[in-house]
């Protein structure tokens, strides 16, 4: 798994069940809300500053996801995607990447095709069994509770980049 992590340049994220706990809250006015973990966000922003790229690929369409991606500086956001594997192929071409440069974290059956296009496969602790069977990395955290942070931090530690983040905050 470490050899795979060393070559990662792009981390692709699922949303519902991975960046969130999978809950979709809709109020009486039809306004959707989701909860995102700030620790996931910190890891993403920090990794971006160190040259790791991110993309979001999700099967649903949500203004909330657009807003969160904007906050995190993620410009490659693809919503309403049925075939995540095809979208990953497009991303690889766009950035001239190989499979060995791609990490993907997802939690459910619709993530399986995308996971198969990634060299390093991750899932939250509460990912479905079919995903866990092929995952290289199974977080100790559930989706929306720091699973993405743990996955990103693992990659950065293997690439010897995590210390650069820590050193900014040591006095």
Q: What is the pLDDT of residues 78-91, one digit of tens each?
A: 999 999 999 999 99
- Nearest Cα neighbor of 118 from 48, 2, 13 is 13
Stretches where the chain sits below pLDDT 50 are none
46-89 pLDDT tens trace: 999 999 999 999 999 999 999 999 999 999 999 999 999 999 99
How high is the pLDDT of residue 171?
63
How high is the pLDDT of residue 61?
94
Name all domains of the chain by residue range, CATH numbers in brackets. 2-166 (3.40.50.1000)
Instruction: Convert 102-130 to b/e letters by CB count within 10 Å (16 or more is b).
Output: bbbbbbbebbbbbbebbbbbbbbbbbeee
* Residue 94 to residue 38: CA distance in whole angstroms: 29
How high is the pLDDT of residue 140?
98
Tokens 């499979």 belong to residue:
99
């Amino acid at each position: 798994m470490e050899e795979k992590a060393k070559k990662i340049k792009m981390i692709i994220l699922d949303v519902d069940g991975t960046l969130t706990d999978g809950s979709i809250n809709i109020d009486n006015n039809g306004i959707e809300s989701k909860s995102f973990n700030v620790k996931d966000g910190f890891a993403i922003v920090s990794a971006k500053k160190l040259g790791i790229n991110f993309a979001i690929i999700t099967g649903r369409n949500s203004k909330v996801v657009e807003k969160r991606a904007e906050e995190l500086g993620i410009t490659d956001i693809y919503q309403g995607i049925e075939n995540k594997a095809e979208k990953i192929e497009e991303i690889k071409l766009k950035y001239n990447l190989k499979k060995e440069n791609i990490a993907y974290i997802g939690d459910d059956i619709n993530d399986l095709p995308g996971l198969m296009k990634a060299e390093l496969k991750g899932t939250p602790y509460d990912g479905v069994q079919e995903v866990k069977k092929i995952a290289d990395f199974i977080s100790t955290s559930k989706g929306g509770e720091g699973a993405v942070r743990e996955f990103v931090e693992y990659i950065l530690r293997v690439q010897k980049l995590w210390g650069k983040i820590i050193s900014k905050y040591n006095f």
